[in-house]
């Protein structure tokens, strides 16, 4: 059904019944950038806990 299965193995797991898995893969890349920002926020929270 999906000729791109050879290019993206995730397409096989996605299946047409789960079209929501495609945007999730793009969100994961954005989450990696957000995680860096969250780490900075966590450091600030740790300082507050020390106080």
Q: What percent of the chain has pLDDT over 90?
A: 0
pTM: 0.11
* pLDDT tens-place string over residues 33-47: 666 666 666 666 666
Q: What is the DSSP annotation of 12-48? A: HHHTTT-TTHHHHHHHHHHHHHHHHHHHHHHHHHHHH
- Flag whether pLDDT at 4 surpasses 60: no
- Flag whether pLDDT at 50 surpasses 60: yes
Q: Output the pLDDT for position 37.
A: 65
* pLDDT tens-place string over residues 24-34: 555 566 566 66
């Amino acid at each position: 059904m999906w000729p791109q299965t050879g290019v993206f193995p995730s397409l096989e797991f996605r299946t047409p019944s789960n079209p929501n898995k495609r945007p999730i893969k793009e969100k994961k890349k954005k989450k990696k950038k957000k995680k860096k920002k969250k780490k900075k926020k966590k450091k600030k929270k740790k300082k507050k806990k020390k106080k």
